[in-house]
Structure 1
């Protein structure tokens, strides 16, 4: 993760605000192609490529799992299924 992501959020063991924002974007549902990418740029001020890099790093972060277990477990299952198909 980046330096910003390594800094604690509100207390020890909490996620950085940007990491929480990445997970919040991932929790939302998107109406069509391009909407999520626009939201990533507008809400987070980063490229979609950087967003997915941060998101993938969060999948292995125990703090992310503690913060949002439903989203992290859903994404881990998707990642594992994709790996199994390869």
Structure 2
């Protein structure tokens, strides 16, 4: 599935100091060559806007022409790729930690609910 990214890919706002260049960061440039334009723009946008905000959602819809739901699906898949880790190790490591923390919290809440449900069932009997 191809996405038209004419202004997002070439927008100077996405060209940050950590934009890959073969001279400065050969590993990052190699990683970038293995990521699609969309994947690179998603990582740059996430780096630029690390928190949920109306402004970030607007940039996603306007620049990438995709829904925010699709953006986060792409991002979730992307952070599992070694190429993404090589492209921006700090960002991807942070996102992986966040994902792990949230999954642990969901699991803990689920276990509490199940425990409470079992206790309720025992009282009913």
Matched residue, 2:95:
75
Q: In 2, distance between residues paired with 1:35 and 1:65?
A: 26
CA 1:84/1:45 → structure 2, altered by over 3 Å: closer, same or farther?
Answer: same
Counterpart in the other structure of 1:43: 63
Match of 1:7 in 2: none
TM-score of the two chains, using structure 2 as the length reference: 0.56
TM-score w.r.t. the length of structure 1 is 0.79
Give, in whole Å, the separation in 2 of the partners of 1:80 and 1:40.
Answer: 24
Partner residue, 2:123: none
Aligned residues between the structures: 79
Q: Helix, strand or coil for the counterpart of 2:80?
A: coil
Residue 29 of structure 1: how far off its partner (Å): 3.1
Alignment partners' CA distance in 1, 2:41 and 2:98: 20
Q: Which runs of 5+ in 1 are unaligned?
A: 5-9
Determine which structure has more spread, i.e. the larger CA radius of gyration.
2
Quick check: which one's helix share is greater? 2
Q: Distance in 2 between matches of 1:58 and 1:29?
A: 16
Which stretches of structure 1, 4 residues or more, deviate above 6 A after TM superposition?
none
Gaps of 5+ in 2: 3-28, 107-125
